[in-house]
Amino acid sequence: MTDDDCPICLDTMTPPFALRQCKHRFHAPCVLKSMDVYLANYGTEWQTVPCPICKQRISYHCILEDCIRKCHVDDVKQIVHPRNLFTECHLGHSLVHIAAASGKLETVQYLVQQGLSPDATNTFGLTPAYLAAVEGHTKVVQYLVENHQANIHCESLFGATMLNAAIEYRHHDMVEYLTQKGARLGSDNKVDFKHIETNSLLVKAIQRLL
């Protein structure tokens, strides 16, 4: 076995998936399936599972999040199953939140097809589309809005909408798309136009919303 081989299945890792804490590397589906077996047989109150190599205990939710964030949709299809599909991750994120924030369009599509809500809210009341807007993933937002009527007027606890977030983080394509769809500014209408000074048409469109 070489360093490029998965310690579980012994096949070449393409690509390898490293556990966040101990850095041991596996095929993502292999390590998740082994941990699913562990939880099914032993279970733990805090949903921690041991690394198959060093036995360091690791949060199952963290591993699942990392897989959704980093892995190709083909691996995700092997990882996600009815027992973990509705896992609530850090800050109340669903798996769709994780995929949307990471710009994983195909993974978002697959998870929604499996029954996860495209408009679920996390601890702060934010939807997957909102997180995608923050990160500038326009194609993900387009999919959620046009195929699943995602709420483009969702506000954060601080009164900022997706449009506010897109302006703040200088995602010009996102700002243009949201204004075309009729998105509005939140209850806190503070807008720094320096964020979008390179596009006077966007400035005029947003000024009409103020």
Residue 46 has pLDDT above 70, yes or no: no
DSSP 187: S
Instruction: Tell me how crowded residue 157 is: count the other CB atoms within 10 A of its CB.
Output: 9
What percentage of the chain exceeds 90 in pLDDT? 60
pTM above 0.75, yes or no: yes
Q: Which two tokens stand for residue 205?
A: 């469109």
Helices (H), the chain: 28-41, 60-70, 73-79, 95-101, 105-113, 128-135, 138-148, 162-168, 172-180, 200-207
CA 75 – CA 180 distance, rounded (Å): 35
What mean pLDDT comes out for the span 69-75? 94
Closest CA to 154 of 142, 164, 146: 164
DSSP strand pairing (48-50 vs 57-59): antiparallel
DSSP 188: S
- Reading the block at residue 18, the tokens are 């490293």
pLDDT(69) > 60: yes
User: For the segment 149-173, what is each residue's pLDDT rounded down to a tens digit?
Assistant: 999 998 888 888 899 888 888 888 8
pLDDT tens string 115-146: 999 999 999 989 999 999 999 999 999 999 99
